[in-house]
Structures are given as structure tokens and as C-alpha cells.
Amino acid sequence: MNKILKFPLGFAWGASTSSYQVEGGIENCDWSKDFPAGIACDHYCRYEEDFDLLKKLNQNAYRFSIEWSRIEPEEGKFDEKEIEHYRKIILALRKRGVEPFVGLWHWTSPLWLKNKGGWESKEVAHYFSRYTEKIVSSLKDNVKFWITINEPEIYATHSYIMGIWPPKKKNFLSFFLVINNLIRTHKESYKVIKRIQPTAQVGIATNNTYYEASNDPISCLLKKIIESLDHFYILDRIKNYQEFIGLNYYFHNRIKLFKFNQNENKLVSDMGWEIYPEGIYYVLKKLKKYQKPIYITENGVADREDKFREDFIRDHLFWVHKAIEDKVDIRGYFYWSLMDNLEWHRGFEPEFGLINIDYNTLKRKPRPSAFYYARICQKNQLILDSEF
């Protein structure tokens, strides 16, 4: 006999994207030269078509980001035409009964900010607050949920320790400066939003790994230290500056003595990332201490052949539901991503999308797994077969 897991009434079912990865035509941000997106998915022009598909897939929420370099192409000069474009996007979602979750920053910054030192600048919180004030003042009538910053820890690590992303530095002092600037920027942005729109729901999206230690003192100690830095350093400092937590979950990391990533890798994605659904349960349980509603703002898999995406969604939602049963206040799930897109420095090869994009024709085609997820969204429940 099949088992039915019901989710709370009003649960947000959706998918996520980010502006640089899908819109196309963004030429004046810090990523444009080193990792050009070109036309990308042309979502900037085709958003109505994409939202028709989103609605066909029974989703009631959509997370996207606004491109700062479009809004403020020159310092202090705002482009009203681009603000109107994002207003049209939000209204197109509202017309279809879809709740917009609007991100203000998803890793790309205007060139003028780069030239002023980027996220190392001591003025960056001021610049971002000014941008935030313009956006929120303009769009607040149709937006309830704001996400200030996406994965600050991932951005800072890749840009200032690994040196892969702009500005391609390898400097621990810069890393800590940027992390703290991102924290300060979130706080200032939060205050701006709440001043303009007191009823707004404001959060941040963090990327939390499930760390698992071998049963020895060194591994257990390292796990505690890493978790305190990776999970809680940011959230502890902004706990009074958010109405909800956005969780992005992708990674499991088994620690054995001084060795990391000692995972079994029984199943891996096209990116080589281990698929470990159970980990999302333990991460959610740890976030319970903040006593804030949680939205899973990203969870997805690179799977070009769509071989295991359906199982990926089912298995993660099983563990999400288990966390809900354990009184974790989870209010939504956003699959990453609505469509295939530019996977940052890895280019267009990895395919995370519920919707496949043919980059030669830009034709959209929902994958079979998209319709599986659509049935979950429609019924607000997960059906497990007797063999699960």
C-alpha cells in the first residue's frame, strides 16, 4: 500500500533562477568579461512563455533575482525602464497566482562597484542600501518576500579563497572582510526594507552542508568547528534581522580525522556531487534553534539525461517532511532550477532544469521529472510506493 505524506496548507511549491544565469544581455557586470552569459536562456524576453510553463507545472511560487547592474548601470543613476521590466515580471507572476520571492543580489555586481573595490569596499553597505531603497520603494506593492543576499559564504569562498570567481583573489584577509561586509550589508538592507515596507518578509539564503564525523575525537571536534563557521557564523549575527531563513542544500561532507569529503559517493550528479538526501533533514534540524520559518530556496541536481531527478526530488522531500513532523517550521520548497542555465564558471553544460533549454533554438521542453514534481505541487502531498 502506498503511503501519502501531506504538507502544510499554504506550502510554497516553486523553482528558482537567478538573473545572470537565465536572462541574457547582461554586459556591464563583474562577470561579463570572464564568464559571459551571452543571450543565456533569453528569459528577459521570454518570461511570459516561461511563466506559462511554470503555471502548467502547478507551481505557486517563484524565486528570482533582480540584476543590480541593470538597475544602476552607473553609480547613483537608476534606469526606470529596467525597474519597469521587473515590475512587469512580478505582475506576470501575480496574474498567474504565483507568489514572487525576489532576490536583490545573486553574486553579480555593476562594473562601477567593481572599480570601487567591490565587496571589499567599506562603502559597499551604503551602495547596496541605496539600491535596495530604490527597488523596494518601486516594487513593494506587489512583493511580500525579499531575499537580500544569496549564499554569502559560497561567494566569498569562491571569489576570495579559491580565486575562481570575480575578482579572482586568494586572500584570507579579503575573505573575512567580505564576509563581514556581506553581514553588515544584509543588516542595513533589512532596516531599509522594513522602514519602507514594515510588513515585508525578509530573509537571506545560505548554503548549508551536512557534515558527518567519524566516531573519533578529532573528527567530532573538526565537525563542530566547521559547522560553527559554515552554518552559524552568519546566521548568529543576523538572527534579529530576518523573518525567515532561506536554505540552499546540495552537499554532504564526511570527515575522517583531518580528511574531508570522505563520502561513499554511491550516487553522484553530472557535476560529480554526491547525492545525499538524508542530509537535508539534519541541516533543517540544526536550523530549528533560530525559531524562524524556513524556505528551502534551492535544492536540485545536474542530470542531463533526467535519470534520477525524480528520485532526487522524492527522496529530499521525504526527509523534508520528516523534519516537518519533528516540528521544524518549513513553509516552502524551491527546486533549482526552473530551467537549464549558465552554471557560473562551468558554463552551460551542467543541466539542472526541470525545463530543458535547447541553446541552438532556445526551445523549452519540460522534462518527465518536471511533471512528477507538478503532481506533488498540485496535490500538496508526496506519494511513496510500498517499496520506498
Instruction: Indicate which residues carry an active-site annotation.
Output: 151, 298
Question: Is the CB of residue 124 less than 8 Å from the CB of residue 72?
Answer: no
Q: Find the Cα–Cα–Cα–Cα dihedral 122, 32, 145, 197, rounded to 10°.
A: 50
**DSSP-derived 3-state class of residue 332:** strand
Query: What φ, ψ does residue 334 adopt, rounded to 5°?
Result: -120, 115
Compute the distance between CA of residue 171 and CA of residue 154 in angstroms, rounded to an integer.
15
- Calculate helix-pair angle for 124-139, 172-196, nearest 10 degrees: 30
* 7: DSSP letter: P
> In angstroms, how far is CA 44 from the centroid of its own chain?
19
Query: Cis omega (within 30 of 0) on the bond before 337?
Result: yes
Q: In the chain, where do the E strands start and end?
A: 3-6, 12-16, 61-65, 99-103, 145-150, 201-207, 210-213, 244-248, 252-255, 294-298, 330-336, 355-358, 363-366, 381-384
Between the alpha carbon of residue 187 and those of residues 128, 195, 335, 343, 345, the distances in Å are 11, 12, 27, 29, 29
Compute the distance between CA of residue 165 and CA of residue 151 in angstroms, rounded to an integer.
14
Q: Which three cell numbers stand for residue 374?
A: 507538478
Label residue 243 exposed, middle or buried (CB < 10 Å: 0-12, 13-18, 19+).
middle
348: Cβ–Cβ under 8 A, 6 or more apart, which residues?
340, 341, 342, 359
Angle at 177 between CA 175 and CA 182, to 5 degrees: 95
